[in-house]
Amino acid sequence: MKLLLDTHSLIWFLDDDPRLSAAARLAIEEPENERWVSIGSGWEMAIKSQLGKLDLPKPFDVLFPGALESLGFSIMPIQPAHLHRYHSLPLHHRDPFDRLLIAQALAEGIAVVGSDSAFDAYGVTRIW
């Protein structure tokens, strides 16, 4: 199964944070699953950590992409098809980073690992 991790799911996984659900942890740890992180999540982490609104488990320049790739995560670039999907999404959810993840998951046909139930309004397969 292919998984696209929401930014907080990724951070909670890396921090071994108990807020990450057991089902999410199992899916991420399953060796058969492909684990993807959006470049948009990298952008979100860079912005929020620079503003002091997000504590990262490692310095940003170590974490993204080096530490993620060494742990077996792949970085998903933003493709034109993702932007077209983004543009056509109804405005159930206003967060631009979450909307990008939704668009990428729908365009690629992959599941999102995340706690935000607002994703469900888009028909995204969500693991939590």
14-47 pLDDT, tens digit per residue, is 999 999 999 999 999 999 999 999 999 999 999 9
Q: How confident is the model at residue 77 (pLDDT cuts 50, 70, 90)?
A: very high
Burial of 46 (0-12, 13-18, 19+ CB in 10 A): middle
In the predicted structure, residue 57 carries a pLDDT above the cut 90: no
Please state which CATH number belongs to domain 2-127: 3.40.50.1010
- The structure's pTM equals 0.93
- 105 vs 77: CA distance, rounded Å: 12
Mean predicted confidence (pLDDT) in 64-71: 91
| Letter string b/e over residues 91-107, b meaning 16 or more CB atoms within 10 A of that residue's CB | eebeeebbbbbbbbbbb
